[in-house]
Structure 1
């Protein structure tokens, strides 16, 4: 068992027994795109002490989610089944993600998974387009082909549109229009700028949750 039992005969409870320990889900996330050696996982999770990383990997292995093969760790078929779950969870979390804080990491794997998580195939039917998306020094290639998606690491020669914007998340969430972003100089593009609208239609973050508003301390008190 990966974690303490909740004492519930329930699949959701069992899932959180396996993934509920701090960092466990992120270890799985960092293995979604392929096997990695221990040193690379440690580099991707610098705030996780090596001993705790080893413990998380051991727990996930005991649960049948991860296995060690030669010098790398990889997901089992049971672990790979978590991909759509984590992508849905990532899209859900992105709704309240806010802006990055100083020191926050953002890796090429995170960029690729963000595209997968926010992809709306129903809005991509009949669309054949390619994008190179830049996040500072990180570049990924995004190909959309009639409702199908392929995302790769690195630049994409011949892309229909190259996008670089510090407010891309706000564009994808509909909080800023492509026209305003271009007019205000908040988005740099190479290619047909109209394709930016196509991009944010296909890759979308749902609106943030409505949070309760409190006027006084008394209103925060739960009786």
Structure 2
């Protein structure tokens, strides 16, 4: 491995970019912000990175104390990578980039990879923006072949891969349906009536719970007119 590149500037921004400014680095942090991942999971979640470059980036992040190796408890027992406390302190940076990038995203390009799990970051951004007005709840999303859930409590949010044992609401659909909902090309009522979106749970007021959940899906451009009540 060659000498690590540096801006050689006595500046906090430059020093931070010395550590996390390399290509793929912040996307690795994005992947790990939903929980520990195996090397294979990271490789699948970052199409195009390649085995050698992923190894290099992980070693660099380990060296900086941002990522560490761990072993999941039984019955999984898998060797995984996870964020350290220093790594988790980058979460606000990822959320801020997601909010900033929302206005640049536009429609998917032909060459774009699209993984539903990436939406978890955008949904955290909705909470950070105040669009949920401090609501609480556990929302599970089954989009395409991926499953993840969000836990909201008092205006804070945690994103996790996999199902939730205590989900208040479960939304099931394909990637195209969720994209259409996010861009407001498809109304929730139409999605449910057509069968494109399946909703499970919601308690005594599933409509209100669904409306609350859909605020998380919508892009930043629509948050200001999609406020909900706690």
2: CA distance, partners of 1:114 / 1:164:
18
Matches within 5 A, 1:24-173: 24-69=25-70, 71-97=79-105, 98-99=107-108, 101=110, 104-106=113-115, 108=117, 110-120=118-128, 122-125=130-133, 127-152=135-160, 153-154=162-163, 159-160=168-169, 162=171, 164=173, 166-169=176-179, 171-172=181-182
Q: Which has the higher contact order (CA 8 A, sep 6+)?
A: 2
Say yes or no: does 1:207 pair with 2:208.
Answer: no
| Displacement of 1:54 | 1.8
* Distance change >3 Å, CA 189–CA 102, structure 1 → 2: farther
1: CA distance, partners of 2:61 / 2:134:
41
Q: How many residues align?
A: 206
2: CA distance, partners of 1:197 / 1:177:
14
Partner residue, 2:13 = 12
2: CA distance, partners of 1:202 / 1:105:
18
* Distance change >3 Å, CA 190–CA 39, structure 1 → 2: closer
1: CA distance, partners of 2:6 / 2:94:
22
2: CA distance, partners of 1:61 / 1:67:
6
What are the ranges of 5 or more consecutive residues in structure 1 without an aligned counterpart?
209-223
Per the alignment, in what secondary structure is the counterpart of residue 29 of structure 1? Answer: helix
Partner residue, 1:178 = 187
Give per-residue Cα distances to partners, 1:60-91, cap 9 Å, x unaligned. 23333223457543333222211111122123
Per the alignment, in what secondary structure is the counterpart of residue 118 of structure 1? Answer: helix
* TM score, norm. by length of structure 2: 0.67
Give per-residue Cα distances to partners, 1:25-64, cap 9 Å, x unaligned. 1222222233334343333334222222222122223333
Tell me which protein shows more helix as a share of its residues: 2
What are the ranges of 5 or more consecutive residues in structure 2 without an aligned counterpart?
72-78, 201-205, 223-230
Per the alignment, in what secondary structure is the counterpart of residue 148 of structure 2? Answer: strand
* TM score, norm. by length of structure 1: 0.69
8 Å CA contact retained: 1:124, 1:145: no
